[in-house]
Amino acid sequence: MLKHCVLLDEKTIAARVDELARAIAQDLPEPTPVLIGLLTGAFVFLADLVRALGRLGIEPQVDLMAVSHYGPLVTSSGLVQLHKDSALDLNGRAVLLVDDILDSGRTLSMVRAHLAARNPRWLRTCVLLDKPSRRQVTISADYVGFEVPDVWMIGYGMDAHGEGRGLPYVASVEAPQRVRT
């Protein structure tokens, strides 16, 4: 396991997810929204958010999209690639795009524009972590869990080359470097 330092413990994350769910539920124009999570990092956050919304009487339909821009390195290639699109009809629906982290803004901006072109009546974004110091595209999330420093993070669904994804908290690690052969 990578040497790491806990930034956000389980209780802190759980409390904030509940707060986010209450804010989202208050803003939703309907009790049956579509929640679209971005794989792979957002799957734990998405699951917890769906359960928190369910406790508030919201019954979301859930789908997943897969995008990437890191490739084999830990620095962005700058090109966002769509690997798996949502198969749901979003026309006239309330849609919440859920991601683990907003850093450069490229991914959230591209996916948000892609979903907007499918004519939802309400489209908002929710991220667990916001790293504004890394922003390269002008975008902000509608719902933000925590603002975080410019460090590489693992846990709560996020990983560094496959390590740390299952940790129940968010931790910082030194940016892992891929060994070239």
Q: Determine the pLDDT at residue 177.
A: 53
| Nearest one of 138, 132, 169 to 154, comparing CA atoms | 169
In a domain, 111, yes or no: yes
CATH code at position 50 = 3.40.50.2020
In a domain, 122, yes or no: yes
Running along the chain, 181 residues long, what does each successive block of 10 average in pLDDT? 93 98 98 96 97 98 87 56 91 98 95 97 98 96 97 96 95 66 32
Helix 10-27 with 43-55: angle, nearest 10 deg: 60
Neighbours of 134 (CB within 10 A): 14
In a domain, 179, yes or no: no
In a domain, 41, yes or no: yes
Number of domains in the chain: 1
Which residues are marked as active site? 103
By residue range, what is the domain housing residue 78?
5-164
Can you say whether the dihedral through the CA atoms of 49, 54, 57, 61 is positive or negative? positive
d(CA 68, CA 111): 11
In a domain, 180, yes or no: no
Q: Determine the pLDDT at residue 147.
A: 97
Element (H, E) at 17: helix 10-27
d(CA 25, CA 176): 38
Q: Determine the pLDDT at residue 28.
A: 98
Can you say whether the dihedral through the CA atoms of 102, 105, 111, 116 is positive or negative? positive
Q: Determine the pLDDT at residue 138.
A: 95
